[in-house]
Structure 1
Amino acid sequence: MRILVTGASGFIGRHLVPELLDAGHEVAAMTRRPESYTGGGEPVGADVARPETLAPALAGCDVAYFLIHSLDRRDFVKRDAAAARAFGAAAEQAGVRRIVYLSGLGDETETLSAHLRSRHEVEGLLAGGGVPVTTLRAGVVIGDLSTSWEIIRQVVAHLPALVAPTWATARTQPIAVDDVVRYLVGVLDVEASIGQTLEIGGSEVLRYTDLLTRLSALQGRVALQVFVPVPSVRLAALAAAQVLPLLAGVDRRTVRALVESLPYEVVVHDDRIRSMVPFEPMDYDDAARAALRQRALRLGAAA
């Protein structure tokens, strides 16, 4: 198949493209700057913010992966909605048979954060063009250069105590980036996944604070946990947006959007994908070790 991967130079895209090529697919790697793209596949220039550029990128493609978001922008909800509408319509006009979208876990019966609500809204807007969408919903993705993981790693590396609001003990089901990619590639061969919303996660359900303490233990550190009575999610997000970028080099708006999602449980309740793409996902410790190895290799190569 010929497959378009949007966000090919992003965190997930950089892992996905080589696996699609290894599986024998022809890959068009969509990027706003094709002249500087160094990854696999055929670079194609397009921008979801400029809908007129999408038709040439999608031409001849059987499947398109939508891996784009705008969390670093103040108006990310509006931007992501417009991008999804434009991409869904362009995919239909190009004759694309399926869109695969990586979304976020979250119980729709709750009042979710703006970040999670936006991810779910994009699912419907992509499908509004008429092309069937396979949606994979994931929580925290563990891997080198994942924004969520980098925040966790830097907090453990630099803060003498692990400070968390008393309400930041919601459950999450972290998943290794390699396992995310196995699911993203695997659904291509499963006709039953077409038009479905599927949930993916690692082998363990943990609290957010567990992610910090267990990483500390893996690195031989004794983690002192301090819970503080921060009454407001918004207040905690604003404070984190000021402090964490100094550690992690992450955009403040991205940090704020992610922290605002902390009180919400993001775990798998529907595990149908386990029978569609059968394998045993990594546990958190193995995923964390793999991410640390990836980082060491990247820094070693850059030295």
Structure 2
Amino acid sequence: MAQSNVLVTGASGFIGSHLCPALERAGHRVRAMTRHPESYTGAGEPCPGDVGDPASLRMPLAGVDAAYYLVHSLDSAEFEEVDARAARAFGAAAAEAGVRRIVYLGGLGAEDQHLSPHLCSRRAVESLLGAAGVPVTVLRAAVVIGHGGISWEITRQLVDHLPAMVAPRWVSTRSQPIALADVVRYLVAVLSAPESAGQVYEIGGPEVLRYIDMLQRAAWIQHRRRLPVLPVPLLTPRLSSAWLALVTDVNLVTARTLVDSMTTEVIVRQNPIQRLVPGPTIGYDDAVRQALAARRAALGGDSGTGGDSGAGYGAAPVQDGPAGEDAGGRLPRSG
């Protein structure tokens, strides 16, 4: 596709708000799907639509060559059922509209691992989006480092708020974080690669790190003292998620879903995106610096910890989380 008519779901969210202008810069015509087009101020032509309402999908998908699917219901206790229903409806509507490709941002995790319900749901969505016959290009990611994303905000807030950190089991889990800029670069690039249709690519930054490594390095970059770690080997997932909800702005339902996923190692193992889109990726430290700079810019240059990082959670599907963050599940407060 040289120039395409492209629909971006979750256009006002974490990934979508950066993807829309990048697609426009690449020469594509962008339709930004949102439940609130009257208040949308980002790139692309705003268009009303809700993946939870199949009838509302006909207009945004009409005349579209490719659609980016960047939504999921992380904050819902029934997220597996909600996500499955929405993906099935979107895939069917895309097929009916003659869409030639769906691009989906999913989550890393080896097939032979015990995947969390969150990651299992991501895999189910991959299949359901293409069930009606539209080829799906899947990019699987771990933690996305960027201002406004849940996983990065949790890291930043833990560094900001804690004089010491208790050590639940997940702090030793290995992950392969990726900079927001690299995720957007890959999402744009696959649109111009016809051979990516129907393929799954794993994406990640240049380093494999434990969650505690990410916390310690983020603290060092912000010139904070190294976080003392207090091992608590019997800290259960339920207690760990309650603790996470207590010391950050993430709600309890989302915290439990995230903790379940944080016990799964998420690193690039097969079919890396570099085979299709070569080039170096941004290291973790530089990704953190970019996220902090974006936050300062969003807060008008304020380098303090107060401020608002974006929209809060709603009842409809939202977007974000570790092991494949996407468009708009930002934390309601940041600091």
What TM-score, normalized by structure 2, do the two folds share? Answer: 0.86
- Contact 2:174–2:265 (CA under 8 A) maintained in structure 1: yes
Cα deviation 1:255-287 (Å, max 9, x = unaligned): 221111111100000243102111111110000
Q: What displacement does 1:19 show?
A: 0.2
Q: Which moved more, 1:95-104 or 1:112-121?
A: 112-121
Q: Distance in 2 between matches of 1:167 and 1:18?
A: 35
Cα distance, 1:129 vs. partner?
Answer: 1.4
- Counterpart in 1 of 2:243? 239
Residue 34 (structure 1) aligns with: 37
1:35-59 C-alpha deviation (Å, 9 max, x unpaired): 1111111000011111001011100
**Number of the residue aligned with 1:163:** 166
Query: Which position in structure 1 is the counterpart of 2:196?
Result: 193
Quote the residue 1:140 is aligned against. Answer: 143
Structure 1, residues 143-166: CA drift from partner, whole Å, max 9, x if none? 000001000000001100122214
Which residue in the other structure is 2:68 paired with? 65
The amino acid across from 1:37 in the alignment is Y
2:86 alignment partner in structure 1: 83
* Superposed counterparts of 1:1-303, under 5 Å: 1-223=4-226, 224-241=228-245, 243-244=246-247, 247=248, 249-300=249-300
Deviation at 1:239, TM superposition (A): 3.4
Code of the residue aligned with 1:227 in structure 2: it is P
Task: State how far apart, in whole Å, the 1-side matches of 2:220 and 2:170 are.
Answer: 23
Computed over aligned residues only, the root mean square deviation of the Cα atoms, in angstroms, reads: 1.4
Structure 1 counterpart SS, 2:171: coil
Is the 8 Å Cα contact of residues 162 and 212 (structure 1) preserved in structure 2? no
Once the two structures are superposed, residues 203-247 of structure 1 have per-residue CA deviations (whole angstroms, 9 ceiling, x without a partner) of 100001101001111112222122211353343224323x13xx3
Separation in structure 1 between the aligned mates of residue 149 and residue 173 of structure 2, nearest angstrom: 20
Scaled by the length of structure 1, what TM-score is found? 0.95
In structure 1, the gaps of 5 or more residues are: none
In the alignment, structure 2 segments of 5+ residues that lack a partner are: 308-335
Matches of 1:238 and 1:161 in 2, distance apart?
17
- The alignment covers a number of residue pairs equal to 299
**Partners of 1:230 and 1:236 within 8 A in 2:** no
Report the more deviating stretch, 5-14 or 293-302. Answer: 293-302
Higher helix share: 1
Structure 1 pair 164–99 and aligned structure 2 pair: CA distance change class (3 A): same
Give the counterpart letter for 1:229 in structure 2.
P
The letter of the residue matching 1:228 is V
AA in 2 matched with 1:66:
Y
| Contact 2:176–2:205 (Cα < 8 Å) also in 1 | yes
Q: CA deviation at 1:253?
A: 1.6
